[in-house]
Chain A
Amino acid sequence: MSADRRSDDLTRREREEQFRRLSSAANEGITIVVDDCISEANNAFGRLFGYELSEVLGRPLVDFIAPELRDAVARQITIASEKPYDARGRRRDGSTFDIELTIRRITFRDRAALGCVVRDITERKEIDRIKNEFVSIVSHELRTPLTSIRGSLGLMEAGAVGELPPKARELARIARQNADRLIRLINDILDLEKIEAGKIQLEISSLDPIDLVESTVAELRGMAVLYKVSLATRVDCRERIAADRDRVVQVLTNLVSNALKFSPESGTVAVSITAGSPGFLRFAVRDRGQGIPPEQRARLFRPFEQLEAANTRRRGGTGLGLAISRSLVEQQGGRIGVESFVGEGSEFWFELPLVPAPGARETEPATDDSPPGVLVVEDDDAVARVLGIMIGRDGHAVTRAATLKEARQALASHRPSVVLLDVKLPDGSGLDLLDDLASTPGLEEVPVVVLSGVAPTSNDRPRGDRVVEWLIKPFAERELLRALRDAMADPSASRPRSA
């Protein structure tokens, strides 16, 4: 053995020793897996599963996983995605518990190996459960008594049960207004929780931005009169956007009503539509209020971060509107921000993706050098655009086909890692593509995620043996990305073309 080699071995032994010391201090279970079996592990790994360290060495990693999840975890091990993955661990006594697994490829003693970190997430899961239970209680148990309170106060204030003396009527008005505020707060908390948990389902379609602005402004005319502020609109760009109508109106309503509340009397609030970043449309709401100091702007879009100026609470906001707006815009593939000059007013803006012009393609045609990506077969330009943004943001290349014919052409030049398939296509049923995949050598095992307005019928099922997921529209972004990740985790799907 040469001096260099001895020196290398020494360095490696030193590194391994340092690693052992470091990992022995960790609370997470850390293990190195060679040929599916545990080659090294720290004390925490044994402790998590109720074993002595010497008892875990040499055993297959899947022995420590709940039996019903062993196949799924084996697939994760195959792809070693490096992304944390929730599973259930199995202790020596047979009991199971929630774990998070992170697996990455490493080299260990000159051999291909897997580094695996196991974290006990029992506490996190319990917190999630308590949070969901709390949200459900807020949703129903608080709204029910509030219905009685709000109803009684509304009837008294309006004199529906006999005229009240002026002072009593004033008190009924104060109580009713605060009941309304509590209701708004509850609705906003529920909305934000739902959006941030990724549970919100988006109905993406091609929308006329002028219609969105006009209907929002029409709804808020009464409020503008109340605050003695005039409302103006300006349209510099008429291109259609790919978004969820109700959710865009919700964001616009929030920004415009904020601007009205914070404008001086006889001021003007201007709503404009202009070209945004390439491929995006920009909506902006400009007020002539007192402006927002730079150090406070970053906090604005966080929950319960109303500015500390003396008059904000009196404006009746819940402090959640901008946080909700940010989440809604981001979930639709857009972004939101503010520009402001102290003493001159603020401009809140957001950008949403444009529907591509007819004939334009979101992505370049795939070549042999392209990384395997997701083939999105979807005829609706608006839906395809947002799917492309969501999938792209998750780190995958996207190729789009708008018809069965285009999908066949794309498949002839390129094997995708997953096909995302709309059923209703202009030149036939997307399900016909399943037969093509099944009969084309090299493509038989490409996993398919189906997008459909309806659940599969008994006729659809037999040909769908490569269909790993059938998503019903509208779907939440999180559902879509989970389905794609699961499809990619399918070991047969990750085999190279020659396999």
Chain B
Amino acid sequence: MRLLCADDEEDIRTILQLALSLDPELDVELVDSGEAALARARASRFDAIVLDGMMPGLDGYETCRRLKADPSTASVPVVFLTARTQRNEVEQALTIGAVACLMKPFDPMTLAAELRAALGR
């Protein structure tokens, strides 16, 4: 399964890489911004996209809206991985087309399984 993950924090990208590589079936590509996520998602086919909610420039929410508005990326499921997880924020993520909202901090040993459960794969 090809995953595209966007997070502006370098340390968190390192941990995401390590945590998700524990699942040998996941092929993970990391980018550091919403803009980069949009560009990569348009250029290549991914099975799912994981977005940090708060990023400078294009934040996760706006990135998700644009992914959903673009016919070439609209069908790719989006999961939020965010430090803002109040109920209305989760609802906001779901309203704009995300399939799930996972919470930061996460347990790296169960993250891949949680992602799979959220994606139904």
What residues of chain A have their CB less than 8 Å away from a CB belonging to chain B?
Answer: 139-140, 143-144, 146-152, 154-155, 158, 160-161, 179, 183, 190, 194, 201, 246
Number of residues from B at the complex interface, CB < 8 A: 19
Is the CB of B1 closer than 8 A to any CB of chain A?
Answer: no
The answer to whether A139 and B83 touch (CB under 8 A), given A144-B9, A146-B105, is yes
Instruction: List B contacts of A150 (CB < 8 A).
Output: 105-108
What are 12 of the A-B contact pairs (CB < 8 Å)? Answer: A140-B84, A143-B83, A144-B9, A147-B83, A147-B106, A150-B107, A154-B19, A154-B107, A155-B19, A158-B108, A160-B19, A160-B109
Question: For residues 93 through 121 of chain B, which have their beta carbon under 8 Å from a beta carbon of chain A?
Answer: 104-109
* Pair B108/A160 contact, Cβ less than 8 Å: yes
Partner of B104, one of A144, A154, A155: A144
Q: Report whether over half of chain A's contact residues are helix, strand or loop; otherwise say mixed.
A: helix
* B interface secondary structure, majority: loop
The answer, among A143, A161, A179, A190, for a CB contact under 8 Å with B18, is: A161
Interface flag for B12 (CB, 8 Å): yes
Given contact pairs A144-B12, A150-B108, A179-B105, a sample of 15 additional A-B residue pairs in the complex whose CB atoms are under 8 Å apart: A140-B84, A144-B104, A147-B9, A147-B83, A148-B12, A150-B107, A151-B15, A152-B15, A154-B19, A154-B108, A160-B19, A183-B105, A194-B86, A201-B87, A246-B87
Contact call B109/A144, Cβ cutoff below 8 A: no
Is there a chain A Cβ closer than 8 Å to B54's Cβ?
yes
Q: Is the CB of B108 within 8 A of A144?
A: no
B36 in contact (CB, < 8 A): no
Q: Chain B, 1-42, contact with A by CB distance < 8 Å: what is the 0/1 string?
A: 000000001011001001100100000000000000000000
Measured in the bound complex, the distance between the Cα atoms of B103 and A150 in whole Å is 13
Closest beta carbon of chain A to B69's beta carbon, Å: 21
Contacts of B108 in A (CB 8 A): 150-151, 154-155, 158, 160
- Flag if A148 contacts B109 (CB, 8 Å): no
For the complex formed, measure the closest distance between the CB of A14 and the CB atoms of chain B, giving whole angstroms: 58
Q: Closest 5 CB pairs between A and B?
A: A151-B15, A143-B83, A148-B11, A150-B105, A147-B105
Residues of A close to B44: CB separation below 8 A: none
Closest to A148 in B: B11
